[in-house]
């Protein structure tokens, strides 16, 4: 193979230095933003709907530290070729993930630089082009790994054998010694490079594994901050008679414009009527993933917190505040437009009073975000349940419509009707009273009085089991 001229090698080294710095900054930025919010990044990984739960957590907790390790290695120029090769592999995985999400019409942010998860708008083309550009830069370092101002370069220089002067080169003995010294130095250099690569790789793997445990601990939700009078992390706010035969689980974000459209198309009125008729019970899961769409004031989290504060008063007050948030006042939508600043806490408190909140603690609960832990817990449980967008609706444990497709009120109503019919058909029939004549007891009853009693008990157990199964499915 023809040797690369020194001048060309120097130019490639300077270009490599610039590429190293760019990639190091990109990986460093990406990793630190994810390390700061481990739970959010796990939810972003789940949103791709491509990995089992254990792997989603391993990626969510361990990947950011691996990315940080790559950033450090590239910044100092240590085992540059291997670090760049890992960079290529990770970027290819990210690229495949984005392409499959786009092909499946899953609306998510890539989560490449923190945040991520479900969204109402996407930028897949930009994400794909960016990843392709970073792959090209990483491949450059795989091919031309020796760069300026790097540990790799310093290591090579430390094993260099001084060349012979013109006078020394005239001696065959000196030439043989020089060649032997160069051969020995090359062997020593390969040994050092091999041991350094293996040792560094072992450290990176060990640190990444430790990070899984550490980040997992940081991602735990404080259960003491989740307690609420009429709400829980798994059920959200429970509205309706617990004995109602059918459970509807409704997942929404206060900032979600499509949720507002569904509510204003008649969903709230429809569910309220069926709830009052004790046909259904509704679990409202108010999530917060669109904080970035409220121009920095985290409207999703604050509005969801206010709704849970209202539920402390009663489920009825919660429903009224819920309707106000998704409704209109003086002909104008109360929900702030996506990308604009959300309303302040004072407006949320005023809406609460409009909904009938009488407790003096409501304003404190809103301004102090006392149910912030509950909002986080509900969002996490929704992520675990495979909710990758809002609104998402389950009726009797079955998702309405395709994943990431917005259900209509008609679809939800049809599913409720079907579930009610199924619940009615599976309920055990009541025993028919035996006919009597002239005050005498029918032979069928007198011959086996215990059968009627047994059927009655069985019917009661069956109805109870049906109600229990419905409640379980909502979780």
Averaged over 148-160, what is the pLDDT?
Answer: 83
Q: What are the pLDDT digits (tens) for 180-213?
A: 877 887 888 888 888 888 999 999 999 989 988 8
**What is residue 375's predicted lDDT score, i.e. its pLDDT?**
92
C-alpha closest to that of 112 among 50, 73, 59 = 59
Q: Which residue did the predictor score with more confidence, 345 or 114? A: 345
**What average pLDDT does this structure show over 53-67?**
88
User: Cα 184–189–194 angle (5° rounding)?
Assistant: 130
pLDDT of res. 288:
87
The total of other beta-carbon atoms located within 10 Å of residue 134's CB is 21
The full length of the chain comes to 475
* pLDDT tens for each residue of 428-443: 555 554 443 333 333 3
Question: Which of 228, 337, 334, 329 shows the shortest CA–CA distance to 285?
Answer: 228
pLDDT at 456 over 50: no
Alpha-carbon gap, residue 323 to 321, rounded angstroms: 5
Beta strands in 325-465 (DSSP E): 328-329, 332-333, 392-395, 398-399
Residue 464 has pLDDT above 50, yes or no: no
Closest-CA residue to 412 (of 391, 428, 426, 430): 391
Q: What is the mean pLDDT of residues 435-453?
A: 36
What is the rounded distance in angstroms from the CA atom of residue 290 to the CA atom of residue 295? 10
- Look at strands 236-239 and 231-232 and give their pairing: antiparallel
pTM summary value = 0.70
The pLDDT assigned to 112 comes to 61
pLDDT at 174 over 80: no
Domain boundaries, the chain: 6-160+197-218, 231-419
- Beta pairing partners, 280: 246
pLDDT at 461: 39
pLDDT (tens digit per residue) in 241-282: 888 999 999 999 999 888 999 998 888 888 888 888 888 999
User: Which of 44-58, 130-144, 458-472 is the least confident region?
Assistant: 458-472
| CA torsion angle 264 116 385 287 (round to 10) | -40
Summarised one tens digit per residue, pLDDT across range 387-403 is 877 889 999 999 998 76
What number is the average pLDDT over the span 5-25?
87
Q: Helix H segments across 220-328?
A: 257-262, 268-276, 299-313, 315-326
- Among candidate residues 104, 98, 102, 105, the one with its CA nearest the CA of residue 45: 98
Residue 249 β-bridge partners: 283, 394
- Cα–Cα distance between 412 and 280 in angstroms, integer? 12
Judging by DSSP bridges, how do beta strands 236-239 and 117-118 pair with one another? unpaired
Q: Under DSSP, is residue 37 helix (H, G, I), strand (E, B) or coil?
A: coil
Across all residues in the chain, what is the average pLDDT? 81
CATH topology of domain 231-419: Glutaredoxin (3.40.30)
């Amino acid at each position: 193979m023809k040797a690369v001229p020194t001048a060309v090698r120097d130019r490639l080294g300077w270009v490599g230095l610039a590429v190293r710095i760019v990639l190091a900054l990109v990986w460093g930025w990406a990793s630190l933003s994810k390390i700061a919010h481990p739970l959010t990044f796990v939810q972003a990984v789940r949103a791709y709907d491509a990995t089992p739960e254990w792997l989603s957590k391993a990626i969510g907790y361990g990947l950011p530290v691996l990315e940080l390790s790559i950033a450090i290695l590239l910044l100092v120029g240590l085992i540059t070729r291997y670090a760049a090769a890992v960079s290529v592999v990770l970027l290819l995985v990210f690229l495949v993930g984005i392409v499959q999400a786009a092909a499946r019409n899953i609306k998510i942010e890539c989560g490449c630089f923190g945040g991520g998860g479900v969204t109402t708008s996407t930028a897949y083309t930009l994400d794909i082009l960016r990843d392709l550009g970073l792959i090209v830069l990483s491949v450059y370092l795989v091919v031309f790994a020796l760069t300026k101002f790097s540990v790799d370069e310093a290591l090579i220089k430390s094993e260099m054998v001084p060349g012979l002067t013109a006078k020394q080169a005239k001696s065959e003995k000196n030439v043989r010694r020089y060649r032997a010294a160069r051969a020995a130095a090359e062997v020593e250099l390969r040994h050092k490079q091999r041991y350094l690569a293996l040792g560094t790789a072992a450290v990176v793997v060990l640190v990444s594994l430790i990070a899984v445990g550490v980040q997992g601990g940081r991602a735990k939700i404080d259960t003491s901050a989740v307690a609420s009078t009429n709400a829980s992390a798994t059920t959200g706010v429970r509205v309706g008679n617990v004995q109602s035969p059918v459970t509807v689980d409704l997942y929404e974000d206060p900032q979600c414009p499509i949720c507002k459209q569904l509510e204003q198309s008649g969903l709230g009125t429809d569910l309220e009527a069926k709830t009052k008729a004790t046909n259904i019970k509704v679990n409202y899961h108010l999530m917060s993933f669109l904080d970035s769409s409220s121009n920095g004031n985290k409207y999703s989290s604050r509005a969801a917190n206010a709704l849970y504060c209202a539920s402390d008063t009663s489920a009825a007050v919660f429903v009224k505040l819920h309707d106000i948030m998704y409704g209109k006042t003086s002909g104008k939508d109360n929900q702030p437009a996506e990308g604009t600043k959300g309303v302040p806490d004072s407006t949320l408190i005023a809406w609460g009073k409009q909904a009938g909140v009488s407790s003096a603690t409501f304003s404190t609960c809103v301004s102090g975000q006392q149910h912030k832990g509950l909002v986080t817990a509900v969002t996490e449980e929704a992520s675990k349940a495979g909710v990758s967008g809002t609104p998402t609706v389950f009726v009797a444990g079955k998702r309405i419509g395709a994943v990431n497709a917005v259900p209509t009120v008609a679809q939800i109503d049809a599913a409720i009707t079907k579930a009610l019919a199924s619940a009615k058909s599976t309920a055990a029939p009541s025993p028919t009273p035996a006919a009597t004549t002239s005050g005498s007891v029918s032979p069928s009853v007198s011959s086996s009085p215990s059968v009627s009693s047994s059927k009655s008990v069985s019917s009661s157990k069956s109805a109870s089991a049906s109600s229990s199964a419905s409640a379980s499915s909502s979780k």
